[in-house]
Amino acid sequence: VVREAQELVAQGVKEIILIAQDTTAYGRDLGQRDALPGLIEEILASVPVLRWLRILYSYPQHITSRLVDVMAAREQVCHYLDMPLQHSHPEVLRRMRRSPDIAGVRHLIATLRQWIPDIALRTTFIVGYPGETEQEFAHLLDFMREIAFDKVGVFAYSPEAGTPAATMPGQVPDEVKEERFRRAMELQQGISLARNKAQVGRILPVLVEGQGDGLSVGRSYRDAPAIDGMVLVPGAVSPGEMISARIVQGLEYDLVG
């Protein structure tokens, strides 16, 4: 991994993404229980000119204080974390065979925001999972309001042959799943707008990825490629350049600089 990072930076790459279904599982096959922070340190020591190192995806139960320390102390590590939570109600999480420890998630998020005040937090939720009641869905909406994630992806559950969930009792009708999907997305749109408006006045590094119609389009540290929003700035800047942009407007999903 370190050698690949060296090769990429030598080619001029400015952003490297460490990605896995669960990056915090790195090293467990070697008998190491908290190896991701050490890997990050090795990468940054080997390529000190790297501008951004982004981490996707990390399960909250395995995010350690050492990892938070490294993220807070190393300016090259993007202050961005995607934690795939999938739901907030303990009973739904149990049916999903996931940890139901939402109190632990709340504590982790409070810690992250205390140690890294400008962190952008992203998660994904599934609505309409078998057995999900209206009360359990309302719990999810309340959780979204409480935490106010910067970015949220919402998916309506769809059965996949051969999985335990496909034959579970309490399959939610498609029209109910779609209605819950719409309500969750509408709620998050307002939250995302407020979070983006809070960026107005900040000066952010922006990695430019394209241009057209008198605008250059790029991403800040708050935006992972292909899944998050963009930063729009006037003028023509060559793709691959990193510029500083003063944010003047926050839209539902994008920023204007």
pLDDT digits (tens, 9 = 90+) for 148-193: 999 999 999 999 999 999 999 999 999 999 999 999 999 999 999 9
Give residue 23's pLDDT. 96
CB 24 within 8 A of CB 63: yes
Q: How confident is the model at residue 208 (pLDDT cuts 50, 70, 90)?
A: very high
pLDDT in tens, 44-53: 999 999 999 9
Of 151, 230, 147, the C-alpha closest to 185 is 151
pTM (two decimals): 0.94
Give residue 70's pLDDT. 97
Distance CA 159, CA 169 (A): 12
Q: How confident is the model at residue 246 (pLDDT cuts 50, 70, 90)?
A: very high
Sequence-separated (6 or more) residues with CB below 8 Å from residue 193: 250, 251, 252
Give residue 14's pLDDT. 96
pLDDT in tens, 212-229: 889 999 999 999 999 999
Q: How confident is the model at residue 205 (pLDDT cuts 50, 70, 90)?
A: very high
Give residue 162's pLDDT. 92
Give residue 67's pLDDT. 97
Give residue 161's pLDDT. 92
Q: What is the mean pLDDT of residues 16-38?
A: 95
Give residue 254's pLDDT. 97
Average predicted confidence (pLDDT) for the chain: 96
Q: How confident is the model at residue 209 (pLDDT cuts 50, 70, 90)?
A: very high
Q: What is the mean pLDDT of residues 68-74?
A: 97
Of 114, 200, 113, the C-alpha closest to 148 is 113
Give residue 112's pLDDT. 97
Give residue 126's pLDDT. 98
More confident residue, 193 or 33: 193
CB neighbour burial string for 20-54, b if at least 16 within 10 angstroms, e if fewer: eeebbebeeeeeeeebbbebbeebbeebeebbbbb
Give residue 74's pLDDT. 96
- Our CA dihedral for 107, 110, 111, 117, rounded to 10 degrees, sits at 170
